[in-house]
Amino acid sequence: MNHFLYPQYSHGGRNPAQDLLWSVSVRATSTRISIVEALMEEKAPVSINVLCSILQKKAPKISQASVYRTLELLVESGVVSRVNMGQMQNSYEILHGKKHHHHIICSECGDIEDIETCPARSMSDYLAQNSKKFDAIHGHSLEFFGRCKKCA
């Protein structure tokens, strides 16, 4: 077999989705690669419905159930972050290449803006110092809601 015909699947790791899965010791199945690739192409977090319709075109064999399962796995392994959208369906975004950040979410249309600054760091330190049960705080989740300019 001529490996040069398939550079994207070579062991040198030229496929970024595959690399990412390897980096967290998750086996890179074709379903997982397709889902990671689809998420990598999105600039903003996407809901499962949107993700499924993207995948419908790219990889129609993937069932909705395996999209759910794969997302759970990717969230657990730290590759993907789940964004709590309040009243709306949760959304998902790839964490790779992104620093810890937060979102402002439009409660009308679901449009999302990344906020690069973390307003909760000092609060986290404060809580760790004053907690009775915890010595350290590893993370937090915090989203902001509003109405975007289009919906205002």
Contact 19, 25 (CB under 8 A): no
151 binds Zn ion (CB under 5 A): yes
73 binds Zn ion (CB under 5 A): no
109 binds Zn ion (CB under 5 A): yes
Nearer to Zn ion, 34 or 81 (CB): 81
Under rule CB under 5 A, how many of the chain's residues touch Zn ion? Answer: 10
Structure tokens that stand for 59 in this block? 């990889």
- Whole-angstrom distance, CA of residue 108 vs CA of residue 11: 45
Applying CB under 5 A, among 118, 127, 137, 146 the residue interacting with Zn ion is 118
123 binds Zn ion (CB under 5 A): no
35 binds Zn ion (CB under 5 A): no
Residue-wise burial string across 23-62, b where 16 or more C-beta atoms lie within 10 A, e elsewhere: eeebebeebbbbbbbbbeeeeebbbeebbbebbeeebeeb
What is the binding site for Zn ion (CB under 5 A)?
93, 106, 108-109, 111, 114, 118, 120, 148, 151
